[in-house]
Chain A
Amino acid sequence: SAVISQKPSRDICQRGTSLTIQCQVDSQVTMMFWYRQQPGQSLTLIATANQGSEATYESGFVIDKFPISRPNLTFSTLTVSNMSPEDSSIYLCSVEDGGTGRGAYGYTFGSGTRLTVV
């Protein structure tokens, strides 16, 4: 399966600022997925990033708050904009295993970014 490098691993940010999280995959993949886990909550899909097209956002997540870039088939960034304490979460990027583009075989994840907004 793929290997994903994610950075930063953690950060403490001031409210109102923005943080960009980067993920590098060791192989070319069509889709990359961005997840968030707020304290005590389930891992929730923010958006799906496709190379060459705009990201597809899940209900409750908008591009102005979480802009995503996908410049090539091995790299993606997620920006958390105008942060508030409610954005304190673990953010994970992932690719699906099995090559179906549907996630039936599960996912490989980056090591996560633990964000604290103060």
Chain B
Amino acid sequence: ILNVEQSPQSLHVQEGDSTNFTCSFPSSNFYALHWYRWETAKSPEALFVMTLNGDEKKKGRISATLNTKEGYSYLYIKGSQPEDSATYLCASYTGGFKTIFGAGTRLFVKA
């Protein structure tokens, strides 16, 4: 059984703070790691698809890194804004053609 763990469960920051959260996944049978941003009452929105060890991806103020050997990925948000408030989900796509989601990190950014 594969588990994807995300920490912290929730995070409260002030506008302008930079923050990061962690996604841990089993490193065996790894194919791809996905990050999504999920705002309340909206669809989860794909942020990054990462496949290679050492991968770094960036989208505006949001970036992510990937370590497939030790089984973790970090998501960074630089200069958080209230509109960054959302749940950030990661998911591991494995060799069994299954996608396993974490429970998400809920980010609250206070103006």
Contact = CB atoms under 8 A, between A and B. Distances in A.
Interface of A: 1, 4, 9, 35, 40-45, 92, 97, 102-112, 114
Nearest to A90: B38
A112 B101 CA distance: 16
Given A103-B93, A104-B32, A106-B49, A4 B101 contact: no
A107 B102 contact: no
Interface residues of B, number: 23
B111 interface: no
B77 interface: no
Contacts, number: 55
A43 to B, nearest CB: 4
10 closest Cβ contacts across the A-B interface? A43-B101, A106-B34, A109-B43, A42-B103, A102-B97, A111-B43, A103-B99, A109-B44, A42-B101, A106-B46
Contacts of A106: 32, 34, 36, 46, 49, 91, 93
28 contacts: A1-B46, A9-B41, A40-B9, A41-B103, A42-B101, A42-B102, A42-B103, A42-B104, A44-B101, A92-B43, A97-B46, A102-B97, A103-B93, A103-B97, A103-B99, A104-B31, A104-B32, A104-B93, A105-B32, A105-B49, A106-B36, A106-B46, A107-B46, A111-B41, A111-B42, A112-B41, A112-B43, A114-B41
